[in-house]
Chains A and B, each alone.
Chain A
Amino acid sequence: MTASEAKALEAKEKQEMSTDVEQTRPGATFTPAVDIFETDTGITLLADMPGVKVKDLDIDLQKSVLTIKGDVDSPEGPNETYVLREYSTGAYVRQFALSDAIDQSKIDAELKDGVLTLVMPKAEKAVPRKIAVKTG
């Protein structure tokens, strides 16, 4: 089986989300693609949010629900007309239920090149501890 190292990327349409709660400003809202992985020490979330600057990013944590929200300014100038339009610009919103194992006071967030990295360490008591089993 021949598997090339780096396959060609395919374009995916941006996932538009419909929410129960309406946004106060008009415009589409999209769901960012995320990778979430867990190690013994914590959970890391990476979200693709191109066009979001740090000042427009809002991370909210209430009752163990994590909400990521990023506003995106429309980059087109006022005199520009479209020749080709393949994607729309809009805010990114996504919500997750966090387990109680996360130490919510130690969550670290970094936004770089349109990728948000959230590192959420597990609370001390939730770190798995290996228990040596004695044979006797």
Chain B
Amino acid sequence: MAIMRPFWPTRDSSVHGELDRMRRDMDRLFGGLSGRSLREPMAGVFPLTNVTEDTNNYYVRAELPGIKGDDLDISVTGEGLSISGERRIPEGKKDASYHRREREAGKFSRMLSFPGQVDTGKVEASCADGILTVVLPKAEAAKPRQISVKAV
């Protein structure tokens, strides 16, 4: 049987060059997404939060400039923390003309869940200089327990 010859010009550089370029573009597109998901999201829910942990507690921090404790509504269940509230920006004076307007006002609401159980009775939240810090003590069952290995 005769070997079929391809219809398109067999200048490999053009075909494979095209495919190569497309592959590189796709790599860059998806590589960018997977690389960033470990660090910062491209479009997230307000407020952006950082969650850290040590042996005894989870710590949730969020940047909320201009927001006082009274503007916030924080509630916690066994495995979830809910942060909601409203950022208000005071009205400018009547005859003011704005050169720049970059800050935004509005409502926000966010749920966070944790890898382990938290002790809901001992959760504390504080807000200072526009940073909200919530300390959630881990439930006893969720704390790591060292297991000693007996030599036999």
Contacts and interface: CB of A to CB of B under 8 A. Distances in A.
Q: Interface majority SS on A: helix, strand, loop or mixed?
A: loop
Interface in B53-97: 53-55, 58-59, 61, 63-68, 86-87, 89, 92-93, 95-97
B108 interface: yes
Give the bracket for the number of chain B residues in contact with chain A.
Answer: 35 or more
Contact of B103 (A8, A40, A48, A76): A48
Contacts of B96: 37-39, 44
Interface in A74-100: 75-77, 79-88
Interface stretch (A19-27, A50-58, A61-69, A102-110): A50-58
Contact of A46 (B54, B61, B103): B103
Contacts of B100: 34-36
B115 A83 contact: yes
Contact of A87 (B63, B86, B92, B112): B63
A114 B130 contact: yes
Instruction: Classify chain A's interface size.
Output: 35 or more
Contact of A6 (B39, B63, B86, B133): B86
A37 B43 contact: no
Interface in B95-123: 95-109, 112, 114-115
A115 interface: yes
Contacts of A79: 54-55
Given A9-B87, A84-B51, A37 B97 contact: yes
Nearest to A50: B130
A125 interface: no
B86 A80 contact: no
Given A35-B89, A48-B66, A52-B129, A86 B99 contact: no
B52 A80 contact: yes
A53 B129 contact: yes
Ranked 6 nearest A-B pairs via Cβ:
A114-B130, A50-B130, A114-B65, A9-B106, A80-B52, A48-B65
